[in-house]
Structure 1
């Protein structure tokens, strides 16, 4: 049978257009008891050609994912035990799943692959806590200056639109970088990724000595999983997570996602991936999303993939420690809770072209929690990922706000 292999195209959206949710490809959860050769062999029996991502891992450009899709019916992430199958090969996937009645089925179930987007910034006014000559208001609110810890040598992956790798506040901290986007280098032409990287582990302002990065001595791993328009797919994100695990990252920061609807549950495949990351001592921290309009009494549910139980979902706070009006909430009864909150309104950080900018959103709150995780790991390097999660929750500053909005409270370091 002749099959065509196509690249999922970039999307250009007008502001009034609703973002598409699904790419047409399928995610497949693989049995963790199955080794790579068994998975490839099982697929081949059903005329499915799978390309192992590990075979392309030394590629220096992001074209290797599309190359894998062109050469085969899908790609396989052995460490994560997930495959992504081309839409044209879906007829071959069904018998491969239905033949799983043997004692050890290799293919367990499927989900639709999603488009994933940088969590869009929202700009709002600020109050109470304020920036001063020493640090941003977020650094003050989290008591970062009250601790001598700076996250020294803790590997933190920021998976986003890349970063400005020449930025004086970021360049000294970047240990590794890799693009998973076809035709684009790691260099951030969007700004979103640079802002997130600066909050997690940026140094203080190069000339003014103004502190805005939570863990300025952490080791940054920059993975470009979203293009310069802030768009990507689950395949890009999964490739970035597997790369982070390969590089023994202790923390992964995801300021990205896709909108979920009321009553919608989490992705079982991402939950499996996140649970495996916890087992491998890597904590994924993700933005809850900015789809709410609380002034209009509209609270939207936590976005994908932050709504997975094994991913720490971060809400955004205003400078008076109220819940940001755009921040999503834990309204779905079947998962999707907020675990913790952090400063997310008018947050100063690095930007593209060696610049700086204030942004608002759960996208800003998330890397601040990732940076705090690095501080805690510097203090206690033997903490497991589940213990790190517990430590973040236990040390959070309690707020007089619903747990469905802020979880355990404000991410905070005790002096």
Structure 2
């Protein structure tokens, strides 16, 4: 299937909020295309693209660790084929784009071809706060807090959170009551990189790689470090309450968004190929691009997500922050709007959908699968400190962490079984499934 909206839609500007949400184009196209091939007939598909659409010289990537992938993706004279994914980022001259589309529709070895988009990190910056130095005053009775919290949630009341020992997010998902640690489970976080020297994270990173041309994996933005901290921050952090869901998970940090917070589909494909090659059980993507009402999910990401599930990898992504509740709810962003990817909504401290959290208003994909804490979430920040951020970006790594806990508990489970267990364990909420999916994420 071919989805080719190039030069047809004017998506306008992203809404600007005083709290610091992103501005810029809703949808940005790079001029390249992402092409999905039949894994058993990749050569036929490439040959057809060469002869009919005049694509540039093709560089084959068999090992994403080769070290020159970012540079290849930046070169205008080559197309890049990730053989393990049977996915290519192709350079096409403007006058050949129509031919590419018609070729993809007619050639059975080409499963999908779509314009490459720019993607963005998805935080909503909470009221500005300096890096936190947190000194606990006393320990609370976590069991009592959790019991009260669940009773208050069931009654539709907002709980009063004591964050001396555990962040409110970990309490809400009951991670403070779980004995599981996610020991040895590999979680790939595709984001803005990581502060490899952060005292809470040093020694906990399995592998790193940057797919952003000209940038190392070091996180000059802060978004990636924050997300990684939520997935796998330590059980006993250097300062303040515990904030990591799966403290013994192993992190694969792929930089697919630059220090500016933006990247391209091709960078994400490279990160996905790298994550799969390293045995990631979970891929967490707190990133996306806005879609408009009625827009279909991207076939390229959906096919890749299904292939990943077959290989035992679950992909989870942020639903997006384009809404302004209660008056306006926007559709789930891409690639979270793919049926094969878990779309995560954000909850505030009252266990209600955060004002910015997108909803399931598009058919054929675009569902919300589960909801997690996404407001004023405390986690690691570059430079060894801590920071509070809000957004569906912050909700997503909570889900990735719980998937690591589940995987550690049932290591032989298929990826589909992990997804089913995650949804079955959610705490039902009174809000519509279009806003919260299966409900509030719960740690096993």
Global fold match (TM > 0.5): yes
Corresponding position of 1:53: 61
In the alignment, does 2:282 pair up with 1:251?
yes
Structure 1 CA distance for aligned equivalents of residues 177 and 100 of structure 2: 59
Question: Given the alignment, which residue of 10, 14, 21 partners 2:28?
Answer: 21
The 1-side partners of 2:269 and 2:321 are apart by 22
Deviation at 1:86, TM superposition (A): 1.4
> What is the CA–CA distance in structure 2 between the aligned matches of 1:340 and 1:112, rounded to whole Å?
29
Does 1:115 find its partner at 2:118? yes
Query: Secondary structure at 1:62's aligned position in 2?
Result: helix
2:333 partner SS:
coil
Pairwise CA distance, 1:29: 2.1
After TM superposition, give the deviation of residue 121 of structure 1 in Å. Answer: 1.8
Does 2:389 correspond to 1:359? yes
Between 1:18-27 and 1:179-188, the stretch displaced more is 18-27
In the alignment, the residues of structure 2 paired with residue 95 and residue 162 of structure 1 have an alpha-carbon distance, to the nearest angstrom, of 34
Provide the rounded CA distance (Å) in 1 between the counterparts of 2:265 and 2:87: 11
SS in 2 for 1:27: strand
Structure 2 residue matching 1:34: 3-state secondary structure: helix
Q: Does 1:399 align with 2:429?
A: yes
Once the two structures are superposed, the pairs formed by residues 262-301 of structure 1 within 5 Å of their partners are 262-295=293-326, 297-301=327-331
How far, CA to CA, are the matches of 2:81 and 2:279 in structure 1? 20
Q: TM-score scaled by structure 1? A: 0.89
- Report matched runs for 1:6-155 at 5 Å: 17-35=24-42, 37-46=43-52, 47-48=54-55, 49-54=57-62, 57-59=65-67, 62-66=70-74, 69-72=75-78, 74-88=79-93, 91=96, 94=99, 98=103, 105-123=108-126, 128-155=159-186
**Cα RMSD, aligned residues only:** 2.4
Aligned twin of 2:222 = 191
Offset of residue 93 of structure 1: 7.8
* 2:200 aligned partner: 169
Please identify, of 115-124 and 225-234, the stretch whose mean Cα deviation from structure 2 is larger. Answer: 115-124
2:303 and 2:30 map into 1 onto residues whose CA distance is 21
Corresponding residue of 1:202: 233
Deviations for 1:156-214, whole angstroms, at most 9, x for unmatched residues?
Answer: 00000001111011112100000000000000010000000000011146333621000
Partner of 2:132: none
Deviation at 1:54, TM superposition (A): 2.2
Q: 1:227 aligns to what?
A: 258
TM-superposed CA distance for 1:87, in Å, is 3.6
May I ask how many residue pairs the two structures share in their alignment?
A: 395
Cα distance, 1:144–1:76 mapped onto 2, change above 3 Å: same
Give the structure 1 partner of residue 152 of structure 2.
none
Shift of 1:62: 3.2
Render the CA deviation track for 1:221-243: whole Å, top value 9, x for unaligned.
00000000000010011110111
- Offset of residue 38 of structure 1: 3.7
Q: Does residue 1:344 correspond to 2:347, yes or no?
A: no
Q: Distance in 2 between matches of 1:336 and 1:18?
A: 20
**Alignment match, 2:7:** none
The answer to whether the 8 Å contact 1:136/1:210 transfers is: yes
What is the SS of the residue equivalent to 1:269? helix
Q: TM-score of the superposition, structure 2-length normalised?
A: 0.83
